[in-house]
Amino acid sequence: MGAAFGLLLVLSPILLGARGYLILISVAGLVIVGGGVIAVAFMSFAAGEVRLALRAIVEMSKQTPAKADDLSRDAANIVNWSGQIRAKGMRRFESDIAAAGIEDPVVKYGLNMVLSEYGPDDVRAMINTVADACYEREIRPAEILEAMTSHAPAFGMVGTLIGMVAMLSNLTENISGIGASLAVAFLSTLYGVLSARMIYMPAATRLRQDVDGRRSRHHFLAEGMAMLAGKKPPMYIQDRLNGFLRPEVQDYFGVHARSAPPPVRLRVVNA
């Protein structure tokens, strides 16, 4: 919807003109700009990463925004696991986790480190290493899209120059068609600028936001798993993880005891 509204605003003066949208169509310009940008991407980066970048453009229109309570759900799980470890012991907790069938690879890796009884610092360092490695892999398609953003206007100018050379080479005494031919030549520049600013750049920004969000979540899990490895009490873990959450989703009373009345916290006021 945003892309359609933006195009409508940009192109409405032309669309409302006498000749309408037909003056905006140039197959040669589309081939030069689109083909040139994709060719340079495959020349500069690995083919698999370029395909991921192009897939991100398609998924941009159907991707739903991340839910605001994802981290609060992770915090609730970690607090619950802490209560299970303290109540049942590590061996019983291991069997419960195996039966739960957790699919998230980072969560599964962190729980394996906790069950292996590594120290808190070791668990934190291991998960942070996973987070950084995942980020380096996942950010590459966003970097490719950013490179395509810079290439698109350049190929638009190339298409314009090619069109002008072709027009001048066929120039005769009859100059009545110069205006129309020149308009078609400049369409390549239009395609380059619009594709850069309304396709490649938004896709790169959206993908970078998603990757940054996953890295933040992985660091959040690293802190939570480190406290599990240190056998911290659930209330301490909840209060520590609240620092990562937005104020409106913070829980100061522990998700493991929602049914119980919340404890009263007294504030000492100096006389």
DSSP string, 140-171: HHHHHHHHHHHHHHHHHHHHHHHHHHHHHHT-
Which helix (DSSP H) or strand (DSSP E) does residue 35 occupy? helix 27-44
| pLDDT at site 141 | 93
Contact 78, 241 (CB under 8 A): yes
Cα–Cα distance between 95 and 129 in angstroms, integer?
27
Cα–Cα distance between 45 and 122 in angstroms, integer?
35
- Residue 67, classified by CB atoms within 10 Å of its CB into exposed (0-12), middle (13-18) or buried (19+), is exposed
| pLDDT lower than 70: segments of the chain | 1-23, 63-69, 172-181, 183-184, 253-271
| pLDDT at site 3 | 62
- Residue 29, classified by CB atoms within 10 Å of its CB into exposed (0-12), middle (13-18) or buried (19+), is buried
Write down how long the chain is. 271
Contact 81, 230 (CB under 8 A): no
Contact 233, 121 (CB under 8 A): no
CA atoms within 13 A on the CB side of 199: 20
Mean pLDDT (the chain, rounded): 80
Alpha carbon 43 to chain centroid, angstroms: 24
CA atoms within 13 A on the CB side of 22: 4
Contact 236, 228 (CB under 8 A): no
Closest CA relative to residue 25, chosen from 139, 159, 191, 227:
191
| pLDDT at site 19 | 55
| pLDDT at site 143 | 94
| pLDDT at site 268 | 38
Contact 192, 50 (CB under 8 A): no
DSSP string, 10-25: HHHHHHTSSSGGGGG-
